[in-house]
Structure 1
Amino acid sequence: MRIIQSAWACNKPDLLRNNSGWLSPEYNLMSWTLSCLQLKQYYPELVLYCDSAYRKLLIDTLELPYSDVVCNLDILNKYHPQLWALPKIHSYSKQEKPFLHVDGDVFIWKKFEDSLLSSELVTQNKEAATDYYEKIMISLESALNYFPDEIQKERKSSKPILAYNAGIFGGSDISFFKEYTSKAFEFVNKNILNLSKINVSGFNIFFEQYLFYCLARKYNKKVNVLLSETIGDNQYKGFGDFARVPYEKQYLHLLGNYKKNEFVCKQMAARLRQDYPEYYYRIIDLFKKNKVILYHDYYNLESTTKDFLVQRYIRLNHNAVAVEKQEAVKALSFDFKRDLRKEIGNIILNKEQFIDFEIFNSRINSIIKIDFLFISKDYLYARDCFANFYFQYLFEDKSDIYNKKIVRGDDYRIIKSDFNWSSFIEKQKDNKLHESVKLEKSGAGISTLIIPECDQNKFSLTYIDELDLVILEILKTEKTIRELFDALEEYFDTDELFKIPAEFENLIFGRIKLGIHVKSIKAIID
């Protein structure tokens, strides 16, 4: 099967300074790199359709191993830069034999089934409209002067909007794709003068995914999907869960808000570093050489070369404590201070909230000055690199999981407050619409986990409950997971445990996973 990808710089050729919808530009390049390398593991024929900007970056500079490169997308530079589905449509139109287009934010860890690839039409899944799609469509209908007949007929039927997600798109029915792509370009071209009246980015959904659905309906075409579930347009859950690959998940797609999610982006980058360190550090080196600030500012402090970083990473994989924790001289160059007052925003605190926040902030500053003083960024980087392996080590073989050993981490500290400041700050960070965020209070006190970090956050804050505290207390010495479960049984009603053992297991496994995510728990790897 011929696998194709398409990359267009959207008339913004400086890809080191254009985030292309991602949290930061380096994550765009890391996504392309990981997507390409994983596809290449299973499909030798992997073709890139691109413009000259992406050819220079992905092929000439990063040397991604595409089997062929077709640099024909500069022809789209006359179009609006937010018409990001056009390069895909153009690439579909150039196919003369069965193909599968895979987005550059899609990652696979196994081959697609032959029964899927042999289909006339293939997509990721059927998509159902929520109010989000419907509102965009209504705005388009009031502003655009042309709609394909297939869309008009579907709208007149008064049926809910359905579409096919184009994370993967293709098939063997080339004549269908010729007609479909022609109609898609006609849809765009006949509305060029009206683009200023609409949300252009939202338009892409309708001339690519919705039109495909309507045309397939017209001809009563069977569309085979990778995922059988019909998913709401903004309800894609678990599509960025890198902790569960490859042992539980073999397909991820960082669509929509996943690209802006800091945790998901860092997990994706960590996966690239784990599996392809040479390419990961090639990207880091590219930004450093061009003096472009990286989001993960640990590397902005590094003055070393790519080859050194690769070799150091390889050494760290063999020895988790290769970097000593007590490096006072280096530690002095890394400042853990963070302005939490700024992060809570311009909300008006009452007297009780103000006093509690000042105490909370003061305790954190004390921890930074005393407990974090001699922790170097190099030690934290080594810790993070090694932690990437914990999930797969623990959960890949469920038959042996209870014999695996875990222990609490060395670096975290816990403070208590009356209000849940950690959750509040996190919600404020993601509060794009500046809506009112509730500040939760507990009479029993809120426990917050503070972990030093070697990135722009300086330290992380995580709310934990009584069960998390109990688990951390039990894990002050190494325990097998079976020993942890046995120790926890005294905190639960025995009769209830026997009635719902699966729920108890899922609960504790969930807390272990949380601890690994926030680095308060680590695995003992033999």
Structure 2
Amino acid sequence: MKEEPRIIYSLDAFPVSNNRWNQGNKFKETIYSTALSILYSHLWYQDIELYADDTAYKFLYMLPCRVTKINSNKDKVIWMKSKIDVMEKQTKPFVHLDNDVFIKKKINFDFDKVIVEQNDYELYGMYQYRVDFFNKYTQHLDHWKPDLGYAFNCGVLGFRDLELRDQFLKVFYDLEEIFIKNHNPKIAKIEPCIVLEQYNLASLLAHHNIKPTLLLWKKTLFENFQLADKMGYSHIVGQKKYRSDIVQEIENRLFKLFPYWYKEVKNALEKEGIF
């Protein structure tokens, strides 16, 4: 039987506190969402670690998992950089869960090399103009596919093959350097993260003819939604997580299901004047 991968999270508070996606300050919402996600995972998994910057650490250090301080990248454009930083720290098989992922029934993360949430065939249109930007500068990258036609949703992203993880880190840094060097925000605003992470990973795996394990393996988004519901899995992607009704539902669930931890987090927030 394969070793159960450890579950890891990452949280750099700077992007969500500084108008990421033009959404204003979403720090409190992110703290509650992260707490609920971790506490759900705590029901099913033994080895969980949250990596949090100094700001987030003050409000989540008390959770029933290992909580480790990391440095903030102070970057609201490449907002998922902390995810890359903590993946690089791992020395054994792991699964990284995004802070808006909730596992309400135990999922056995059984995979050989790499696992991702699902294939984003139906959402590929949102990648295309971003990929077109990178295509101008990536001719020297052996793994790069200029028109792959799909990418992966990485709300769940795990590696058992750590050499493959290292290759992914390298191509991430290669593409990040291209973006930093060539992007001019005064000309066009490019949200790069879905290409740096999700399309880039898909290109790398296609280059090596590796098929990842898909947590949600159906053909369409609707079928995967049904499968996720049956599995007890949910991922509130993008700006949807900031809708007032969803924000309220996350806090309500935290209060009803984990009242002790809800009180601890809420008190920590209120001591800092965050209501």
The two structures have a TM-score, normalised by structure 1, of 0.46
What one-letter code is carried by the residue in structure 1 that aligns with 2:212?
V
Q: Distance in 1 between matches of 2:95 and 2:140?
A: 27
Structure 1 residues 18 and 287, CA gap change in structure 2 (3 angstroms):
farther
Structure 1 unaligned spans of 5+: 295-526
C-alpha displacement at 1:51, in angstroms? 2.1
1:147-203, CA deviations, whole angstroms, 9 ceiling, x for partnerless residues? 73322xx21xx452x111111111211100001111101211233133333534x21
1:423-453, CA deviations, whole angstroms, 9 ceiling, x for partnerless residues? xxxxxxxxxxxxxxxxxxxxxxxxxxxxxxx
State yes or no: 1:134 paired with 2:128: yes
C-alpha displacement at 1:140, in angstroms? 4.2
C-alpha displacement at 1:221, in angstroms? 1.2
Q: Distance in 2 between matches of 1:135 and 1:118?
A: 32
Q: Is the 8 A contact 1:7 1:51 kept in 2?
A: yes
CA RMSD of aligned residues (A): 3.0
| Structure 2 counterpart of 1:122 | 115
Identity level (%): 23
| Structure 2 counterpart of 1:31 | 33
Q: Distance in 2 between matches of 1:273 and 1:231?
A: 34
Q: Distance in 1 between matches of 2:78 and 2:44?
A: 30
Q: Is the 8 A contact 1:22 1:259 kept in 2?
A: no
C-alpha displacement at 1:106, in angstroms? 0.6
1:476-499, CA deviations, whole angstroms, 9 ceiling, x for partnerless residues? xxxxxxxxxxxxxxxxxxxxxxxx
Q: Is the 8 A contact 1:117 1:171 kept in 2?
A: no
| Structure 1 counterpart of 2:259 | 277
C-alpha displacement at 1:261, in angstroms? 1.8
| Structure 2 counterpart of 1:93 | 88
Q: Distance in 2 between matches of 1:32 and 1:46?
A: 13
Determine which of 207, 215, 233 is the counterpart of 2:196.
Answer: 207
Alignment partner of 2:13: what SS?
Answer: coil
Structure 1 residues 238 and 22, CA gap change in structure 2 (3 angstroms):
farther
Q: Distance in 2 between matches of 1:18 and 1:33?
A: 21
Structure 1 residues 249 and 145, CA gap change in structure 2 (3 angstroms):
closer
State yes or no: 1:103 paired with 2:85: no
State yes or no: 1:226 paired with 2:215: yes
Q: Is the 8 A contact 1:147 1:187 kept in 2?
A: no
| Structure 1 counterpart of 2:63 | 64
What one-letter code is carried by the residue in structure 2 that aligns with 1:274?
K
Q: Distance in 2 between matches of 1:236 and 1:135?
A: 27
1:297-335, CA deviations, whole angstroms, 9 ceiling, x for partnerless residues? xxxxxxxxxxxxxxxxxxxxxxxxxxxxxxxxxxxxxxx
What one-letter code is carried by the residue in structure 2 that aligns with 1:31?
S
Structure 1 residues 18 and 191, CA gap change in structure 2 (3 angstroms):
closer
Q: Distance in 2 between matches of 1:237 and 1:175?
A: 30
Q: Is the 8 A contact 2:14 2:76 kept in 1?
A: yes
Structure 1 residues 84 and 236, CA gap change in structure 2 (3 angstroms):
farther
C-alpha displacement at 1:224, in angstroms? 0.6
Q: Is the 8 A contact 1:124 1:225 kept in 2?
A: yes
C-alpha displacement at 1:23, in angstroms? 8.1
C-alpha displacement at 1:70, in angstroms? 3.4
What one-letter code is carried by the residue in structure 2 that aligns with 1:148?
L
Q: Distance in 1 between matches of 2:99 and 2:140?
A: 29
Which protein has the larger Cα radius of gyration, Structure 1 or Structure 2?
A: 1
Which structure is higher in RCO with an 8 Å CA cutoff and minimum separation 6?
2
Q: Distance in 2 between matches of 1:130 and 1:23?
A: 29
Alignment partner of 2:14: what SS?
Answer: coil
Structure 2 unaligned spans of 5+: none
Q: Is the 8 A contact 1:23 1:265 kept in 2?
A: no
Count of matched residue positions in the alignment of Structure 1 and Structure 2: 266
Q: Distance in 2 between matches of 1:273 and 1:279?
A: 8
Alignment partner of 2:158: what SS?
Answer: strand
What one-letter code is carried by the residue in structure 1 that aligns with 2:167?
E
Structure 1 residues 98 and 288, CA gap change in structure 2 (3 angstroms):
closer
